[in-house]
Amino acid sequence: MSGFLDGRVTWELMADFWPTADADPDAPAPIADFARIWREMPKVVYSRTLSSAGWNTAIRREVSAPEIRSMCADPGGDLALGGADLASTFLAQDLVDELRLYVHPTLVGHGKRLFTSDLVRDLALVESRVFGNGVVLLRYSRSEPRNQTRNQTRN
């Protein structure tokens, strides 16, 4: 993976915890390892309100499809995306190749929808895994190549 792309709310949640998560001597090894990865990994936060961001983070006001495609073409080009609104924006611009959804066993009764009705995609389940804490990973990939239907329409 070559970077983290987050919406403002997700970035602020991450920035509140990960910069010092490994300072706790009782932190489990995976927490300490990820804290180091998070600090060092390049990050982009998409925000119209932030004026500054630390920890190797660039601020962008809007999602630029050409910029994202360029980032994906770089070595190690896989990017991790966080934030429901940002995910919807990426899906609408056809910038998502794979979804990893982590389902946490918590009933909240409300919240943001991750998918809106106008974002229909054919996805194929390629992995599911249950973790010891009850969290379930559902990993989906595109079931058709990027822009296949658009190219077929034009031909």
Lowest mean pLDDT among 6-15, 61-70, 72-81, 114-123: 114-123
Residue 154: pLDDT over 80: no
Other beta carbons within 10 angstroms of residue 9's beta carbon come to 16
In the Cβ-directed half-sphere of 3, how many Cα atoms lie within 13 Å?
18
Residue 155: pLDDT over 70: no
Summarize the confidence of residues 70-96 as an average pLDDT: 87
61-80 pLDDT, tens digit per residue, is: 999 999 999 998 888 778 99
Confidence class of residue 118 from pLDDT cuts 50, 70 and 90?
A: low
pLDDT at residue 119, rounded to an integer: 61
| Domains of the chain, CATH where assigned | 1-95 (3.40.430.10), 97-155 (no CATH)
Instruction: Say if pTM beats, i.e. exceeds, 0.75.
Output: yes
DSSP the chain: --EEEEEHHHHHHHHHHGGGGGGSTT--HHHHHHHHHHHHS-EEEE-SS-----SSEEEESS--HHHHHHHHHSTT--EEEE-HHHHHHHHHTT--SEEEEEE-S---S----SS-TT----EEEEEEEE-TTS-EEEEEEESS-TTHHHHHHH-
